Amino acid sequence: MIDINIKGVLYGIAAALPVFRKQGFGHFVNTASTAGHKTVPNQSVYSPRSSPCARSPRACMEAGEKLRVTIISPGFVNTNFAEGVTNPEVKTQLENARDKFALPPKAIARAIVFAIEQPADVDAGEIIVRPAAQS
């Protein structure tokens, strides 16, 4: 999780930042998770790496006024996440909850489009998107 979810963001920023600086503008859209805002049982490893602070390092926010940074924090989304869970009870709970109220991935895509479509002088810093049934 650390290599992909934290280092991956850093590598992406390192690759894009020189391009953004050269062209004079850019927009980072990083995904975090509502788990970074509220930890629930069985997410002690997942939650810290999902923190918006971990997912959008301050360095990219300080790169200039023409650089926008948006953090999208999805709640429960209908994905294959449960397939990687080895505890049968937790896996069943996740699958049941997913089938009951998880958001379609398209809901997160719409949030990303919303952030990108804002005028150049508007920075949608963070967007939390979760099912209404998820508290």
CB under 8 Å, gap of 24 or more: what pairs does 52-55 form?
A: 52/126, 54/5, 54/6, 55/5, 55/6, 55/9, 55/30, 55/31
Q: Between 8 and 131, whose confidence is greater?
A: 131
Look up 46 and say whether it is catalytic.
yes
Contact between 9 and 1 (Cβ < 8 Å):
no
55 pLDDT more than 70: no
Q: Which domains does the chain have, with CATH numbers?
A: 2-129 (3.40.50.720)
Residue type, 53: C
- For the chain, give the number of residues: 135
Q: Catalytic residue among 46, 81, 101, 114, which?
A: 46
Per-residue pLDDT of 60-88, as tens digits, reads: 556 667 888 888 989 899 999 899 899 99
Per-residue pLDDT of 81-134, as tens digits, reads: 899 899 999 999 989 999 999 999 999 999 999 999 999 888 888 899 999 888
Burial class (CB in 10 A: 0-12, 13-18, 19+), 32: buried
pLDDT for position 121: 86
10 pLDDT more than 60: yes
